[in-house]
Amino acid sequence: MKERTGTTGLVFNEPLLWEMGRTGRSGMSPPPRDVEPAEVCEELQGKGPDFPDLSEPEVVRHYTRLSQWNFGVDSGMYPLGSCTMKYNPKTNERQAARKGFASAHPLLPDELSQGALRLMAELERCLAQITGMDAGTLQPAAGAQGELTGMLIIHRWFENRDDRRTKIIVPDTAHGTNPASAALCGFRALAARSGPHGILLPETIEELMDDETAGVMVTNPNTLGLFEENMEEISRIVHERGGLVYCDGANMNALMGLVDMASTGIDILHLNLHKTFSTPHGGGGPGSGPVMVRKELEPFLPVPRVVEDESGALRLSENHPLSIGKVHTFYGNFGVMVKALSYILSMGPNLKRASELAVLNANYIKELLKDTYHLPYDRTCMHECVFTDALQQSYGVTTLDISKRLMDYGFHPPTIYFPLVVKGALMIEPTETESKETIDTFIESMRSIAREAREEPDLLLNAPHYCKTERLDETGAARKPCLAG
C-alpha cells in the first residue's frame, strides 16, 4: 500500500483534568451575589468534591480530543468476529431520543403508556416473525442474560414436570457464555466435540443425550461462522429423550429472512438486539437480549408481560403463576427496543438482503485471503470467517502481531484467539454495512501484512507504530491497571 489510511498528525497528549485545572477558572460568570451567604454546617466546611476548575473551551477540547483517541463503527471498519460491529443508522437513534420515548417514566400507569406498550408488543411480534417462534420477552439486558433467562425457563419447565435433570450438552463451538449460563442454573455442562467439518454431528448428541440431560445449547451459526446443518436431526434426538433445544441466536445477522429458526426444531432462542438490530455496543452501554420461545414454554417467560385486554388496551401483567419472575428492573432497556423496532420497520424486507450481504462479504474475504492465511475449515461460511497464523509462524509472527499491525493500516483488529477450538484464530466479521472498496482495502492490508511478515517481521513484532500508544504490556495492564492515565 502506498498510502496509509491514517495519520497521527493532530492527536494530542491529554493530561488529566486535575492536572489542567487552575483555581478560580470557570466555565461561566454568574452575576454578583446579592444575598447573604448561607451558613454551612461545620462538618461540611471545606469538604466539597475535589473538582478541578476549568474554562469551557478546556473542557470541550479535552473531551473532543479523548473522543478522537477512540475507534468505533463511526470511524472505520471494525471486523470483530462474533460481535456484529456494523454501522447503526442514525435515524434509529433519533427515534429513541424522541421526547415521548426518552422521557417516559417506567412508573407511569398503563393508561398513560399505551404507545410504549404498543411498541414493545409490536417488537415482540416482529421478533417472533423473524425467528419463527411463538412468544418472547424483551427483559434481559444482554445476550448472556438472555441465555441465563433461557436456562431458568428450561429449569422451571422440568421442575414443573417433576423431572429433575442435572446436565446440559454444550458443543465446543458454542459461545463462551453458554456453559457459564448453564452452570449458574445448576446444570453441569457436557462438552460435545464438533465434527471434522466444524459442525455438530447427530451421533455425538445421540451418545451424550440421556434422561438426566436437560437438552442441548447450540450456537447457530456457531463460533466458527458455520451453519449447524444437522439441527433438525439433533433436535429430534434431544426431543425423543424428553430434552429441550436452546439456540444461541446472537448471530442472527447471518440469518434474517433466510432461515426459519423454529423449523430447525429449537424450543427457545435468544437474540442480541445490540448486535443485529442497531444499537451501538462495545463500550458497555445498554443492550438487550430478548428470549423467544415455543408456545409450550410461554407460561414460564419473565413477568411483567405486555397483554391486550378485550377493549384492545395494553397493560403489564404479573399474573403468570408459572413465570420464572423478573430478570431486570421494570421491563428491560426500553431505548434499545425503540431502536430495534425503528430498524426493523425501516428495513422491512431488506432485512433479508442485509443478511445475504453479511454472508456474501464474509465469503468474499474468505476466498480472497485463503491463499495468504491458513483457513482451517474451507467451506462456505455464514457472517464471519476464521483464519489462523499457521502460515506466518515460521517467521516468528503470531496472530497478536498481525492484529496489532492492522491498526497501523486503519482497521480495528478482528477477534483473536477465539474460538478456542482453533489455535491462533483470527475471526473476521465484516458485516453488511461495509462497501466493496473498504473490504478490498482491508484484504489488501491483510495481504500486505503477510508480505511484511515474510520480509520485515520486526515491523509486526513491534506494531503498532502509528497509534496513540505503541505495543502495550497487556499482561501488566490487566494485572496492574493504572486507571489514572
Ligand X SMILES: *Cc1c(COP(=O)(O)O)cnc(C)c1O
- Check if the beta carbon of residue 174 is closer than 8 Å to that of residue 218: yes
CA 299 to chain centre: 28
The contact pattern for ligand X, residues 98-137, with x = CB under 6 A and - = no contact, is ----------------------------------------
Nearer to ligand X, 150 or 410 (CB): 150
Determine the interface stretch with ligand X among 10-18, 119-127, 245-253, 476-484 (rule: CB under 6 A).
245-253
Residue 99 C-alpha cell reads as: 421526547
* Distances 248 to 257, 326, 332, 403, 417 between C-alpha atoms, Å: 17, 21, 19, 27, 20
Nearer to ligand X, 144 or 439 (CB): 144
Residue 25 C-alpha cell reads as: 477558572
Which 407-426 residues touch ligand X, going by CB under 6 A? Answer: none
Nearer to ligand X, 374 or 383 (CB): 383
Which 262-301 residues touch ligand X, going by CB under 6 A? Answer: 272, 287, 289
Q: Which of 131, 137, 177, 278 binds ligand X (CB under 6 A)?
A: 177
Nearer to ligand X, 381 or 453 (CB): 381
Residue 250 interacting with ligand X (CB under 6 A):
yes
Q: How far is the CB of 144 from ligand X (least distance, A)?
A: 3
The contact pattern for ligand X, residues 70-99, with x = CB under 6 A and - = no contact, is ------------x-----------------
The Cα 477–Cα 482 span in angstroms is: 7
Determine the interface stretch with ligand X among 183-191, 247-255, 411-419, 432-440 (rule: CB under 6 A).
247-255
- Using CB positions, name the residue nearest to ligand X: 143
DSSP string, 131-170: HT-SEEE---SSHHHHHHHHHHHHHHHHHHTT----EEEE
Residue 304 interacting with ligand X (CB under 6 A):
no
Residue 339 interacting with ligand X (CB under 6 A):
no
The Cα 169–Cα 151 span in angstroms is: 12
Residue 144 interacting with ligand X (CB under 6 A):
yes
The Cα 263–Cα 131 span in angstroms is: 9
> Which residues sit opposite 248 in a β-bridge?
219, 270
Residue 251 interacting with ligand X (CB under 6 A):
yes
Scanning 255-349, the segments in alpha helix (DSSP H) are 273-276, 334-347
Nearer to ligand X, 113 or 251 (CB): 251
Please, what is the Cα angle at 223 between 217 and 227, to 5 degrees? 80
- Strand order of the β-sheet with 385-388 is 385-388, 425-428, 415-416
Query: Residue 83, SS3?
Result: coil
Nearer to ligand X, 6 or 413 (CB): 413
Q: How far is the CB of 175 from ligand X (least distance, A)?
A: 3
Greatest Cα-to-Cα distance within the chain, rounded to the nearest angstrom = 85
Cis peptide before 290 (omega within 30 of 0): no
Nearer to ligand X, 6 or 302 (CB): 302
Q: Which of 130, 154, 215, 248 binds ligand X (CB under 6 A)?
A: 248
Determine the interface stretch with ligand X among 17-25, 95-103, 244-252, 405-413 (rule: CB under 6 A).
244-252
Interface positions with ligand X (CB under 6 A): 82, 142-144, 175, 177, 219, 248, 250-251, 272, 287, 289
